[in-house]
Amino acid sequence: MTYLSRIRINPLRAESRRLLANPRAMRGAVMGGIPDAPQGDRVLWRLDADNPRRPHLFVLTSAKPDWTHIVEKAGWPDADGEHAAVRDYAPLLDQIAVGREFAFRLTASPVQNTAAPMSPTPTQAARLAAAADSDSKRVRGFRLGHSTASAQLNWFLTRTARWGFDVPTARTDAPAPGLADSRTADDARNTEVGTEDAGPARDIRITASRRHSFVKNGKGPRVTIQSATFEGRLQVTDPAAFVTRLLEGIGPSKAYGCGLLTLAPLRSRTTLQ
């Protein structure tokens, strides 16, 4: 059985500040709530901090979790309300069908692979120098995060077919009479090369973009993640592929809060089903 949890975080407590600042620390807290997780099981989580006074932690698990330790150390243990909501995920999965539309939210880590980074870090420069001195001259590719909104959107929109859904055209009103043909000759000459045929706008937006950098395992190599939060409307095209992405996540850096795709009815735009 699969469960989706939503945990309230109190941002004023010391333990909360530690968890909110470090994806590795948050991952440790998440894993501490799943005593019977199967070996190799993928646990997806996401921190929604768009309201800094009321951040929420979302977690998808295949075993029923216990979030008492997070509520006691980083929540409001004596306050009214539901501190940690845990819901069966099966009713949502039963709704997945071709053509079904949902509102969605996803925090992902858009990346590209390259053998020649433009501004290599000291570690990358050392690898390049070592490869140059070796006989093979072959360099294993570097995974680099996309930092611009256009590159992040392109990364997302060029992969939705394999993930089992499409992002429909944005629902906008028709232009007023005369405005549709108001583009002047100067406008055409000044259009940026490569954007002339961008096509109709899709129903998607980036609501947050962050760069995380932390030391792995306390004294290991430094990990750097560039993440983007996407929100919008999607339409299911391949239910099997779509369910796989819901359960296994999207993109890299899943251990550090990326990859969890959550859905909501289009009208309510609430996240937890």
Residues 6+ away with beta carbon under 8 Å from 44: 59, 60, 248, 249, 254, 259, 260
DSSP secondary-structure letter at 185? H
What is the rounded CA–CA span in Å between residue 255 and residue 234?
25
Q: How many CB atoms lie within 10 A of CB 98?
A: 11
pLDDT digit string (tens) for the chain, length 273 residues: 899 999 999 999 999 999 999 999 999 999 999 987 666 678 999 999 888 889 999 999 999 999 999 999 999 999 999 999 999 999 999 999 999 999 999 999 999 887 776 666 666 667 667 776 776 656 667 878 898 999 999 999 999 999 999 999 987 666 565 555 444 444 444 444 444 455 788 999 999 999 988 887 767 778 889 999 999 999 999 999 999 999 999 999 999 999 999 999 997 555 454
Largest CA distance in the chain: 67
C-alpha distances (whole Å) from 58 to each of 5, 144, 237 are: 5, 26, 25
Domains of the chain, with CATH numbers? 3-94 (3.30.70.1200)
User: What pLDDT is recorded for position 195?
Assistant: 43
Q: How many CB atoms lie within 10 A of CB 24?
A: 17
- 239 φ, ψ to 5°? -55, -40
**Bridge partner residues of 83 (DSSP):** none
